[in-house]
Structure 1
């Protein structure tokens, strides 16, 4: 007696609108999880805490990365995550010499002296952080030369050493 007749045009219009809203919500949900900044920070901290020169490589699921001396941020379609590092690191950005060391070259083959290596690391650490396109891998390399003892952090498109 008080039911809406099923042949009423407004009932069909309401059901159609509700179906479109549900379809829109379902298709807008992210299909991947947000990137794991905490896991990346743990990898970097493990390398920074090492007593000896060492390198760690971690696959990234991010489209952009923001590394400064005390923090790492990762971003993909599902969101942005940040993590604080337990150690001060040297973010490798535009410095081609630091990038060569990050990829595995000994610092003494890239820099003329340990003081030049120290200046480059200090300049990179003091620079402004910014979102950059992320490579496929996050690389953390702890290396020392003379009185310089640093952990370089950056991203690469290919795994260092071709492995």
Structure 2
């Protein structure tokens, strides 16, 4: 007959508990990397460095975004990442604003009375974005370089 040592039961229970802990830790690990803020910032920099008008869109898979005149941060369940613009300052376009409409492709003359009004709105948006909070992210970062008269603005809508 096969006898089981009394201490073997405790070893078995301890091994089972340790296995449950390992499985719990493994289940909590992220299954994908955090969103790539650097790639999105490179898209912004490509237009900000140009002297010509242009539009670009960079897809992102993030739940939250924070855009300032000098940086972009993305956050998802896998973590967060942050990137600084090399060609700052850029102008964050608040959703629902006239700047956002221009970032989406509206001619600046339809949303602003003059280049001076566009420049004033851009300056206000850059100032307001200094203490930007996290907000819900869209599925892409949209960038538009606008040249209107003497005004040169790079708009970022995320």
Segments of structure 2 that go 5 or more residues without pairing to the other structure are none
For structure 1, which segment, 4-13 or 144-153, has the greater mean C-alpha deviation from structure 2 after superposition?
4-13
- Whether 1:137 aligns to 2:140 is yes
Residue 25 (structure 1) aligns with? 25
**In structure 2, the residue corresponding to 1:8 is in which secondary structure?**
helix
Residue 34 (structure 1) aligns with? 34
Q: What are the within-5 Å matches in structure 2 for residues 85-100 of structure 1?
A: 85-87=85-87, 88-94=89-95, 96-100=97-101
Deviations 1:35-68 (A, max 9, x none): 1111111110001111210011010011111110
Q: CA RMSD of the aligned region, Å? A: 1.6
- The count of aligned residue pairs is 152
**In structure 1, the residue corresponding to 2:153 is in which secondary structure?**
strand
Tell me, yes or no, if the aligned pair for 2:53 and 2:145 is still in contact at 8 Å. yes
Q: What are the within-5 Å matches in structure 2 for residues 109-124 of structure 1?
A: 109-124=110-125
- Whether 1:53 aligns to 2:15 is no
Tell me, yes or no, if the aligned pair for 1:32 and 1:77 is still in contact at 8 Å. no
CA offset at residue 9 of structure 1? 2.1
Residue 154 (structure 1) aligns with? 157
CA offset at residue 8 of structure 1? 2.8
Relative to 1, partners in 2 of residues 1:80 and 1:7: Cα closer, same or farther, differing over 3 Å?
A: same
Instruction: Give the distance between the partners of 2:156 and 2:6, measured in 1 at CA.
Output: 64
CA offset at residue 114 of structure 1? 1.4
Normalising by structure 1, we get a TM-score of 0.88
**In structure 1, the residue corresponding to 2:75 is in which secondary structure?**
strand
CA offset at residue 5 of structure 1? 3.5
Instruction: Give the distance between the partners of 1:5 and 1:66, measured in 2 at CA.
Output: 61
Instruction: Give the distance between the partners of 2:122 and 2:95, measured in 1 at CA.
Output: 12
Following TM superposition, the consecutive aligned residue runs of length 4 or more in structure 1 with deviations greater than 4 angstroms are: none
